[in-house]
Amino acid sequence: MGELRFNELRAEQVDYTIDRQERTFLPPADHCPLCPTRPGGIATEIPFPSFEIAVFENRFPAFAAPHGAAEVVVYTDDHDGSFATLPGERARALMWVWRERYAALAARTDIDYVLIFENRGVEVGVTLHHPHGQIYGYPFVPPVPAIELQADERLGGCAPCELLRRELGDGRRLVYENDDVVVYVPYAARWPYEAHVVLRQHRANLPACTASELASLAAALQALTRGYDALFERPFPYVMAMHQAPTTAALTASGHVHVEFYPPLRTAEKLKYLAGSEQGGGTFIVDALPEESARALREAIADAG
Amino acid sequence: MSEGRREPSPELSPERPSKPPAEDSRVDPLLGAQDSRVGPLLVEHHRKDDGRSLILYREAEDEDG
């Protein structure tokens, strides 16, 4: 059973959920628990013969009521494909689903932070290939969003707003733009092909976004992920994390909707590992300049059409 | 999961101020008022055999979609 312990040296919570060892691990396609339950087939997590988007409570939750939440978001009933290959209307619908789940979890008193994320590829530990993401509702504000809130204080205002202003002014690391959203490789990216997808307007969370902004966000995310797949002409693994305002009562005005991608590939076949300097020293060593990565991603997005 | 299994560290959560009700501006009235419709989507709430929630979303086909 699960337990939270506070790591004093790192000043961070560690979540022990040992029953997750029993979760389904890379099943064959005909035993996928995220596929619909078809006549004559196995009973899956979704007991319907077809569906568009499904959200359910994780069978092996890292967090659960009354101390958080863990949900699975299944993007499609089609086992094959990815977020990048979803039809545009489905990707736009997914933004509304994320928006609704953020609002629903934010209203719970046991949840202080809602993290929408996707792990893609065995390289980042995926155990199910069916296109899906996850949502964690943390009973505390986790360290990474907390550090970003500290950047607000350091920069004297909304850090994503200020960093977006700098990137637009420089221009060399821009990857994609539309009316409402900008994608860029950060000035000090920690991963060779790290990219941030940022709303132009200051929006604390998805419920604060307009329908147009949600559509633009979907378009930007698909442009980037299609570009990733085109970059090395292979399915591109990544960790995707959406940062929004914390949902703890005192901090709901903080934050700026943006999505961060941490892809582990540094070449078509080579992974960037978190080794001595990264884990022991907390300092990333990166063998690609963000300006060069951005140029490659711009070309890949153009190739992907 | 056992009851009361997770007590957030007092170092990170010294107090837990009560949240405003669902009508708070963070929650779109459209979302809070009617859970059968979210923007362009129709929503179905289900309960799985083991008690876990399952929500299905599909695009509305009427003129409001």
**DSSP class per residue in A103-144:** HHHHT-TT-SEEEEEEEESGGGT-S--SSEEEEEEESS--HH
List the beta bridge partners of residue A102.
none
Cross-chain CB nearest to B48 (options A4, A56, A64) = A56
Q: What percentage of chain A carries pLDDT values higher than 90?
A: 90
Contacts of A56 in chain B (CB under 8 A): 48, 52-55
Are A99 and B58 an interchain contact pair (Cβ–Cβ within 8 Å)?
A: no
Contacts of B59 in chain A (CB under 8 A): 52, 89, 93
Shortest distance between the Cα of A56 and any Cα of chain B, in A, equals 4
Q: What percentage of chain B carries pLDDT values higher than 90?
A: 32
Chosen for mutation from B11, B12, B34 (greatest number of chain A CBs closer than 10 Å) is: B12
Rounded (5°) CA angle A65-A70-A71: 120
Shortest distance between the Cα of A200 and any Cα of chain B, in A, equals 19
In 3-state terms, what secondary structure has residue B13?
A: coil
pLDDT tens, residue by residue, B51-62: 999 999 999 976
Q: Is the pLDDT of residue A185 over 50?
A: yes
pLDDT of the residue at A170: 98
Contacts of A53 in chain B (CB under 8 A): 41, 56-58
Q: Is the pLDDT of residue B25 over 50?
A: no
**What ipTM, to 2 d.p.?**
0.93
Shortest distance between the Cα of B7 and any Cα of chain A, in A, equals 7
If residue B31 lies in a helix (H) or strand (E), which one and from where to where?
helix B29-33
Cα–Cα distance for residue pair A221/A36, rounded to 1 Å: 26
pLDDT of the residue at A224: 98
pLDDT of the residue at B16: 52
- Contact between A222 and A91 under an 8 Å Cβ cutoff? The reply is yes
- Contact between A259 and A241 under an 8 Å Cβ cutoff? The reply is yes
Chosen for mutation from B30, B44, B57 (greatest number of chain A CBs closer than 10 Å) is: B57
Look at A22 and B53; give whichever has higher pLDDT.
Answer: B53
B19 pLDDT band (50/70/90 cuts)?
low
**Parallel, antiparallel, or unpaired for β B37-38 and A258-262?**
unpaired
Look at A19 and A219; give whichever has higher pLDDT.
Answer: A219
Chosen for mutation from A97, A100, A102 (greatest number of chain B CBs closer than 10 Å) is: A100
* Chain B contacts in chain A segment 25-64 (CB below 8 A): 45-48, 51-57, 59, 61, 63-64
Q: Read off the pTM.
A: 0.89
Is-catalytic flag, A79? Answer: no
pLDDT of the residue at A193: 98
pLDDT tens, residue by residue, A223-258: 999 999 999 999 999 999 999 999 987 777 789 999
Q: Residue A6: closest CA among chain B residues belongs to which residue?
A: B9
The size of the A-B interface in CB pairs under 8 A is 134
